[in-house]
């Protein structure tokens, strides 16, 4: 598998002036950027020259990326690197100062924010389950927003609970009555509720014990493939990311410093990359008996 | 039991004003609480203001709205009422603001950021997020604030009586003055009972919301409606059948006023004219009410009107004062002096007979020689009145200690030895009852306090009907009638004392 993700910091602004003309067609994925994706292949998500400042502080600068359809991307980086902000840009929870973001070839700036968000599966950091809604209501939140009737919502919730391996009798419980693993599964099910093409997961398994985390990661991997999803997963579990992800993105201080297949990223000499991957890499090697870097490819 | 007949109307008015004030406060507090979190300067300002309001005694807050609304009326030229419903509503709503804001701010702040974020991330609109997530989650804490505010408001609404708004305070203040403790207790118990019931009902609502169960929330709602409906029904049932607009007689907070109001009310009622009595008005408020037409008839005293309403500092003899007073009240306020009742209820100083004899005090001049060793107890307003200044100027009076009390407790202070001299009223029945002597104002420093009937502007029909009271009530008759209502044993109700007075004076 060749490098299907491109990166370039500090993109040429003139290439993106079209952004301000309102609804517009996206640049063909990576046009004007140093991309390596083969022509004609659809990109689930592209960012070109994206810059973000929050409260006068620069959070992301010059982010260019192309996520091909169907990829499971692990987004890693130290805390404060801008991982969550990058996800929030995709569904317009924050607005970029410059640059263009396209989902399935459409500029998100031209899509109504609420419509866009309902179409993207998003699990926020910390779960964010509504404590006053039952498990079934939480899972069927987006269908409710879309105006589905109650029987249809309940049926969908039951289906999703089965998909994420939650016992059906939890449907009437409230989030406060769930274990951490169960709550994470509810968050995942909620994000999947209306079969989104794109799934954004912000540390969905952050606070769980390793056993539960691995079980959930397995389940996510299976769902990702079965549903033909494009998934971007922010994670601190580097070893897991190295093993499972198709592609990895490494953020450091608001810039993408490495991207590509895990084996390639692991060889990247950038100090920020090495600080993140060297330890887990040892662990991954030990666990899988891999001989050396790059074998995963 | 006395007061029982006025209870339904007082209770209904009390509940209505409390509910209205609470709703008004909610209407202000909810939007404020929603915009405050993003604006720290606004939050500091609003919470600081609400806290300061809370430190102002409720009575003062109510009273302060009177000059404020008068100013507003003068500045805008709009017919803004300055007494009764409006000042009560505004003051009580302000008072309810702090617990409501605390509840709202606390409840909203407790909504986890991740939950807020998730609501946005799944595509909820701002309104959906507000109602289905933020306010729903905050509701139990918010309801806690609403409960506190409801109990405070129902309690504080008793004070609305002082600015001319009917409330359960009518029973409490009248009872306090008449030392009719059962009536005081009735007013207090009714207020406390309503507060407890409302608190209980809101508690059910709170529990229902917190547990997301319909049953308790519905129960609470039904109880609230039942309280409102029951009180309204009782009140409607207690209303007289007559549809004519009643003549309203206002009274200040002492027995003489209650008795005379009953006397006039019975008199008018005998001619088929429905009447109602607005009892327990503050001294200045009573005059302002009659001037504003909020009440039709009030009973006042020439010296009080001279210094308070006209702001005069000189103290001319009564023959000079009365014609000027009548002319000026008519010219400045449109208020007519319909009759001079014939007795005087002068401000005076009184002391125990034994003390007066021992110290050889008959006149205020005598008193001035030894007063610096004595302790004075006054009513609440005396020290800020022109009469006190006049006494000090004329006699060089000074006391070892001066404290102010409500009139009833002032008498008690003299009784238990914590005061030597009190301010008294010359027609007060308790003077004789407690073996007190009045100290003569030998230099005529104080004006005359002839009791007069005042009639609101535009009620000339009443002026004619009240003219027959001119000079008919002697100070002796009034003192005896007052004593019947004030004495500790064998008490008469104001209505009974009025009946006695009617027979005695042949009116």
**Tens digit of each residue's pLDDT (9 = 90 or more) over A274-288:** 888 887 777 767 777
Mean pLDDT (chain A, rounded): 81
Q: What would the two tokens of residue B115 be? A: 């939950």
Per CATH, domain B3-238 is 1.10.3720.10: yes
Q: For chain A, how long is the longest CA-to-CA vector?
A: 56
Chain position carrying tokens 């609440």? B380
B124 and A CB contact within 8 Å: yes
B120 and A CB contact within 8 Å: yes
Statement: residue A157 has pLDDT above 90: yes
Q: Does A128 contact B137 at a Cβ distance shorter than 8 Å?
A: no
pLDDT at residue number B409: 78
pLDDT at residue number B136: 86
Partners of residue A142 in chain B, C-beta under 8 Å: 122-123
Q: Does B115 contact A128 at a Cβ distance shorter than 8 Å?
A: yes
**How far is residue A178's CA from residue A184's CA, in Å, rounded to a whole number?**
9
Mean pLDDT, rounded, for A104-121: 91
Q: Does B121 contact A118 at a Cβ distance shorter than 8 Å?
A: no
Pairing of strands A98-103, A247-252: unpaired
- Across-strand partners of A47? A65, A101
Terminal CA-to-CA distance of chain A, rounded, Å?
Answer: 7
Nearest CA-CA distance, residue B132 and chain A, Å: 9
pLDDT at residue number B243: 54
Pairing of strands A198-202, A255-260: unpaired
B112 and A CB contact within 8 Å: yes
- B239 Rama sector, left if φ>0, alpha if ψ -120 to 50, beta otherwise: beta
pLDDT digits (tens, 9 = 90+) for B138-152: 888 899 999 999 999
pLDDT at residue number B75: 86
Q: What would the two tokens of residue B428 be? A: 């007060």
Choice among A94-98, A171-175, B377-381 with the minimum mean pLDDT: B377-381
B38 and A CB contact within 8 Å: no
**Confidence band for A172, pLDDT divided at 50, 70 and 90:** very high
Partners of residue B122 in chain A, C-beta under 8 Å: 117-118, 122, 141-142, 145, 190
Partners of residue B121 in chain A, C-beta under 8 Å: 91, 93, 117, 122, 124, 128
Of A114, A129, A131, the CB nearest to B123: A114
Terminal CA-to-CA distance of chain B, rounded, Å?
Answer: 27
Q: Does A114 contact B124 at a Cβ distance shorter than 8 Å?
A: yes
**How far is residue B164's CA from residue B150's CA, in Å, rounded to a whole number?**
21
Of B121, B128, B137, the CB nearest to A124: B121
Of B114, B121, B133, the CB nearest to A93: B121
A126 and B CB contact within 8 Å: yes
Q: Are A138 and A56 in contact (CB under 8 A)?
A: no
Q: What would the two tokens of residue B346 be? A: 């002068």
Mean pLDDT, rounded, for A18-38: 40
pLDDT at residue number A246: 92
**How far is residue A157's CA from residue A139's CA, in Å, rounded to a whole number?**
6
Per CATH, domain B347-439 is 3.40.190.120: yes
Class of domain B251-344+453-505: alpha beta
Of A118, A125, A131, the CB nearest to B122: A118
Choice among A36-45, A79-88, B21-30, B44-53 with the minimum mean pLDDT: A36-45
pLDDT at residue number B330: 92
Statement: residue A26 has pLDDT above 70: no
Q: Does B121 contact A127 at a Cβ distance shorter than 8 Å?
A: no
Partners of residue A129 in chain B, C-beta under 8 Å: 115, 118
pLDDT at residue number B292: 81
Nearest CA-CA distance, residue B102 and chain A, Å: 22
- Helices B7-35 & B214-238, crossing angle to 10 degrees? 140
Nearest CA-CA distance, residue A191 and chain B, Å: 8
Measured CA to CA in angstroms, residue B101 lies from A57, B128, B206, B480 at distances of 33, 22, 17, 53
pLDDT digits (tens, 9 = 90+) for A188-202: 999 999 889 999 999
**How far is residue A120's CA from residue A87's CA, in Å, rounded to a whole number?**
11
**How far is residue A211's CA from residue A208's CA, in Å, rounded to a whole number?**
8
Percent of all residues in chain A with a pLDDT value above 90, rounded to a whole number: 50
Please report the residues numbered 313 through 332 in chain B whose beta carbons come closer than 8 angstroms to any beta carbon of chain A.
Answer: none
- Across-strand partners of B301? B451
**How far is residue B198's CA from residue B228's CA, in Å, rounded to a whole number?**
10
**Confidence band for A208, pLDDT divided at 50, 70 and 90:** confident
**How far is residue B232's CA from residue B16's CA, in Å, rounded to a whole number?**
9
* CA dihedral (B387, B389, B391, B393) positive or negative: negative
Pairing of strands B247-250, B297-301: parallel
Q: What would the two tokens of residue B182 be? A: 């059962």
* CA dihedral (A10, A13, A18, A23) positive or negative: positive
pLDDT at residue number A27: 53
3-state secondary structure of B330: helix
Instruction: Dump strand ranges (E) for B185-324.
Output: 247-250, 275-278, 297-301
Partners of residue B137 in chain A, C-beta under 8 Å: 130-132
Statement: residue A9 has pLDDT above 50: no
Higher pLDDT, B199 or A13: B199
Q: Does B137 contact A132 at a Cβ distance shorter than 8 Å?
A: yes
Mean pLDDT, rounded, for A3-7: 42
Delimit the domains of chain B by residue range: 3-238, 251-344+453-505, 347-439
pLDDT digits (tens, 9 = 90+) for A209-225: 888 888 888 888 998 99
Q: Does A142 contact B125 at a Cβ distance shorter than 8 Å?
A: no
Q: Are B163 and B285 in contact (CB under 8 A)?
A: yes
Among chain A residues, the shortest Cα distance to B134 is held by A130
pLDDT at residue number A74: 93
Choice among A15-24, A25-34, B181-190, B227-236 with the minimum mean pLDDT: A15-24
pLDDT at residue number A275: 86
Positions in chain B whose pLDDT score sits under 50: 1
B231 and A CB contact within 8 Å: no
Query: Is B3-238's fold the same as B347-439's?
Result: no
Q: What is the pTM of this model?
A: 0.67
List all residues 6 or more positions away from B479 whose beta carbon is below 8 Å from its beta carbon. Answer: B427, B428, B429, B431, B432
Of B120, B122, B133, the CB nearest to A142: B122
What's phi and psi for A62, nearest 5 deg? 55, 45
Partners of residue A93 in chain B, C-beta under 8 Å: 117, 120-121
Q: What would the two tokens of residue B297 be? A: 């008839």
Instruction: Dump strand ranges (E) for B331-420.
Output: 336-344, 347-352, 375-378, 401-404
Q: In what order do the strands lie in the sheet with B347-352?
A: B401-404, B375-378, B421-425, B347-352, B436-439
**How far is residue B91's CA from residue B209's CA, in Å, rounded to a whole number?**
30
Among chain A residues, the shortest Cα distance to B135 is held by A132
Q: Are B289 and B250 in contact (CB under 8 A)?
A: yes
**Confidence band for A289, pLDDT divided at 50, 70 and 90:** low
- Across-strand partners of A252? A255
Statement: residue A13 has pLDDT above 50: no
Alpha carbon A98 to its chain's center: 21
């Amino acid at each position: 598998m060749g490098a299907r993700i491109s990166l370039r910091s500090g993109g040429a602004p003139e290439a993106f002036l079209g952004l301000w003309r309102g609804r517009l067609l996206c640049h063909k994925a990576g046009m004007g950027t140093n991309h390596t994706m083969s022509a004609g292949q659809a990109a689930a998500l592209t960012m070109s020259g994206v810059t973000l400042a929050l409260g006068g502080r620069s959070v992301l600068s010059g982010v260019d990326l192309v996520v091909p359809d169907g990829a499971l991307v692990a987004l890693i980086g130290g805390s404060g690197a801008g991982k969550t902000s990058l996800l929030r840009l995709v569904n317009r929870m924050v607005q970029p100062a410059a640059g263009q973001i396209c989902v399935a070839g459409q500029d998100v700036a031209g899509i109504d924010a609420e419509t866009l968000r309902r179409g993207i599966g998003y699990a926020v950091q910390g779960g964010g389950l509504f404590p006053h809604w039952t498990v079934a209501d939480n899972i069927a939140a987006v269908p409710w927003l879309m105006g589905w009737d109650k029987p249809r919502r309940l049926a969908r919730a039951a289906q999703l609970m089965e998909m994420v391996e939650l016992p059906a009798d939890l449907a009437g419980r409230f989030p406060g009555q769930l274990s951490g693993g169960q709550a994470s599964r509810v968050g995942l099910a909620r994000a999947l509720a209306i079969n989104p093409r794109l799934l954004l997961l912000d540390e969905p398994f952050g606070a769980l014990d390793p056993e539960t985390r691995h079980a959930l990661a397995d389940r996510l991997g299976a769902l990702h493939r079965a549903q033909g999803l494009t998934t971007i997963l922010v994670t601190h579990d580097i070893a897991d990311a190295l093993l499972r992800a198709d592609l990895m993105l490494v953020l450091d201080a608001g810039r993408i410093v490495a991207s590509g297949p895990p084996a390639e990223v692991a060889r990247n000499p950038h100090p920020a990359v090495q600080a993140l991957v060297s330890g887990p890499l040892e662990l991954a090697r030990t666990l899988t008996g891999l001989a050396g870097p790059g074998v995963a490819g | 039991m006395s007061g029982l007949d006025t209870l339904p109307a007082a209770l209904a008015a009390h509940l209505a004003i409390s509910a209205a004030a609470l709703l008004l406060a909610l209407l202000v507090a909810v939007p404020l609480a929603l915009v405050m979190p993003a604006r720290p300067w606004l939050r500091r300002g609003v919470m600081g203001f609400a806290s300061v309001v809370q430190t102002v005694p409720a009575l003062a807050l109510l009273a302060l709205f009177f000059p404020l609304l008068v100013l507003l009326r003068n500045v805008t030229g709009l017919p803004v009422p300055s007494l009764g419903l409006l000042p009560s509503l505004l003051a009580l709503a302000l008072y309810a603001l702090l617990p409501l804001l605390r509840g709202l701010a606390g409840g909203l702040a407790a909504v986890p950021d991740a939950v807020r974020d998730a609501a946005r991330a799944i595509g909820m609109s701002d309104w959906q997020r507000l109602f289905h997530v933020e306010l729903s989650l905050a509701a139990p804490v918010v309801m806690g604030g609403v409960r506190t505010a409801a109990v405070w408001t129902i309690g504080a609404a008793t004070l609305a009586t002082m600015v001319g708004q009917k409330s359960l305070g009518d029973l409490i203040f009248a009872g306090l003055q008449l030392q009719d403790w059962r009536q005081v207790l009735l007013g207090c118990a009714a207020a406390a009972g309503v507060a407890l019931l409302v608190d209980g009902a809101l508690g059910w609502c709170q529990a229902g919301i917190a547990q997301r169960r319909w049953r308790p929330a519905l129960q609470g709602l039904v109880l609230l409606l039942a309280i409102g409906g029951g009180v309204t029904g009782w009140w409607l049932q207690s209303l007289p059948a007559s549809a004519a607009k009643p003549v309203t007689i206002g009274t200040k907070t002492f027995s003489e006023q209650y008795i005379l109001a009953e006397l006039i009310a019975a008199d008018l009622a005998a001619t088929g004219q429905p009447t109602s009595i607005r009892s327990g008005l503050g001294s200045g408020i009573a005059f302002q009410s009659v001037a504003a037409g909020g009440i039709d008839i009030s009973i006042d005293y020439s010296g009080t009107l001279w210094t308070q309403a006209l702001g005069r500092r000189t103290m001319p003899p009564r023959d000079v004062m009365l014609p000027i007073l009548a002319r000026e009240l008519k010219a400045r306020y449109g208020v007519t002096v319909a009759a001079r009742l014939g007795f005087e209820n002068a401000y005076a100083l009184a002391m125990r007979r034994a003390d007066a004899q021992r110290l050889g005090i008959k006149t205020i001049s005598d008193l001035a020689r030894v007063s610096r060793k004595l302790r004075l107890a006054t009513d609440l307003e005396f020290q800020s009145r022109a009469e006190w200044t006049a006494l000090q100027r004329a006699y060089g009076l000074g006391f070892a200690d001066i404290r102010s009390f409500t009139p009833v407790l002032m008498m008690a202070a003299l009784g238990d030895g914590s005061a030597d001299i009190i301010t008294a009223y010359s027609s007060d029945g308790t003077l004789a009852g407690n073996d007190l002597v009045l100290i003569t104002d030998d230099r005529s420093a104080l004006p005359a306090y002839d009791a007069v009937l005042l009639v609101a502007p535009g009620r000339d029909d009443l002026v004619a009907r009240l003219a027959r009271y001119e000079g008919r009530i002697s100070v002796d008759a009034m003192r005896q009638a007052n004593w019947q209502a004030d004495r500790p044993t064998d008490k008469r109700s104001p209505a009974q004392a009025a009946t006695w007075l009617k027979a005695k004076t042949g009116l």
